[in-house]
Amino acid sequence: MRKNIKNTEAIFPMPVLMIATYNDDGGVDVMNAAWGTMLSRNQVILNLTESHKTVKNIKTRKSFTVVLPL
């Protein structure tokens, strides 16, 4: 489904985002994501490839954490 996104607040310059989830065994899984930005003050957009283990964990757990490393 295609959705047009209006111009809103953004994180510039584009930092690497760290996306964290938990594996099935309870271990922590963290990946770097170069393609992501803020949609609004409390929403982010991530462009992640389906084949990443992190994406599978997000779909299983239905939760994740976004970290902006400084």
Task: Please give the chain's pLDDT, 70 residues, in tens.
Answer: 777 767 666 555 667 889 999 999 999 999 998 888 778 888 888 889 999 999 999 999 999 999 888 7
pLDDT score of 10: 59
Query: What CA–CA distances, in Å, run from 13 to 55, 58, 63, 68?
Result: 25, 26, 26, 12
In a domain, 1, yes or no: no
The model's pTM is: 0.71
pLDDT score of 8: 61
pLDDT score of 66: 92
If one counts the domains in the chain, the total is 1
CB atoms near residue 46 (< 10 Å)? 15
Tokens of 67: 């970290």
Q: Which domain holds residue 57?
A: 17-67
In a domain, 33, yes or no: yes
Strand partners, 38: 44
